[in-house]
Amino acid sequence: MKIIFSKKFFTVYASDPAAEPGRMESIYNVLKDEFEFVEPEPLPEKFLEFVHTKELIASVKKDEVLYEVAVLAAGGTVKASTMALNGETVFALVRPPGHHASANYNWGFCFFNNIAVSIEKLRKENKIKNALIVDFDLHFGDGTDSIFKQVPEVKYFHVPDKDREETIRKLTRFLEEMRKVDIVAVSAGFDRHEKDWGGVLKTEDYKVIGELIKEFSESKGKGRRYAALEGGYNKSVLGKNVKAFLEGFK
């Protein structure tokens, strides 16, 4: 298990909750002694165009500081996907998040769709034919959903519901019924925690979610899996929640 991370993600590139000072530090400090870290490279613009319009890219580019961090987050997620293709389990500890970014529109603290870009790059390079994206953030990833709506090879699944048992049960059921895929990507958002915005999941639930996706990956996804950070805003619990997920996922 490896973590893709750069201290450039400490940069406060905006005034939204995902860009808050101390948020990435709160995760990094919990993980730093236990995992091996790998530096990401910024993603060249031509790969962003696999999912985004030139207009959307240009709108992010207007802010130099934001653009620099955003292409590093996309590059880090792409790196995670290529390492996963070669059999390593990887977590991209990146920001800004991505799942609210669609082809030509972004909102909800997202700028480029990190996960969507990484999957499209693998597809366009003929490294995979199909993929599953599991999103357990509190919020529906409307950007990811819209990008793959007309693409039957890529299934987007947002883990639903308002209580712990149902969340786990519905994810379990979905994965049981899901067909085989070439890779599994995870939009890992931690804002559904009981002490975060959603007020639902306990820390140990993230370990169970990680284990369920790992089991699916091992049995029906060629063992290839990676995750990238989406939401999660309570700095006092974020680090331990990410760690719990990784313990199940690794």
Closest distance of CB 182 from Zn ion, Å: 27
Question: Which x/- pattern over 176-215 shows residues binding Zn ion (rule: CB under 5 A)?
Answer: -------------x-x------------------------
Q: Torsion over CA of 36, 42, 44 and 45, rounded to 10 degrees? A: 130
Which candidate in 52, 99, 100, 193 is catalytic? 100
What is the rounded distance in angstroms from the CA atom of residue 140 to the CA atom of residue 244? 22
Taking CA atoms, 80 is separated from 14, 39, 235, in Å, by: 25, 11, 24
Per rule CB under 5 A, is residue 135 in the interface with Zn ion? no
Nearer to Zn ion by Cβ, of 189 and 239: the residue is: 189
What is the rounded distance in angstroms from the CA atom of residue 196 to the CA atom of residue 236? 10
Please say if 99 is a catalytic residue.
Answer: no
Nearer to Zn ion by Cβ, of 108 and 248: the residue is: 108
Q: Which amino acid is at 232?
A: G
Specify the length of the chain in residues: 250
Single out the segment in contact with Zn ion by CB under 5 A; choices: 25-33, 86-94, 135-143, 150-158: 135-143
Per rule CB under 5 A, is residue 96 in the interface with Zn ion? no
Quote the strand ranges of 58-159, DSSP E. Answer: 90-92, 131-135, 154-158
Given the rule CB under 5 A, which residues bind Zn ion? 137-139, 189, 191, 231
